[in-house]
Amino acid sequence: MTAPAMPPAVPSAGRPAVSEISALIAWMRRLSDAGAHRADPAEFAAFRHAKKDLLTRIERHDRTPATPYDQPGDSVD
Number of domains in the chain: 1
Length of the chain: 77
In a domain, 23, yes or no: yes
In tens, the pLDDT along 15-70 reads 889 999 999 999 999 999 988 788 899 999 999 999 999 999 998 887 776 666 65
Instruction: Quote the pTM value.
Output: 0.64
Within a domain: 38:
yes
Provide the residue range defining the domain that includes 24: 18-61
Compute the distance between CA of residue 77 and CA of residue 69 in angstroms, rounded to an integer: 10
Separation of alpha carbons 51 and 28, rounded Å:
9
Residue 5 belongs to a domain: no
Structural domain includes residue 27: yes
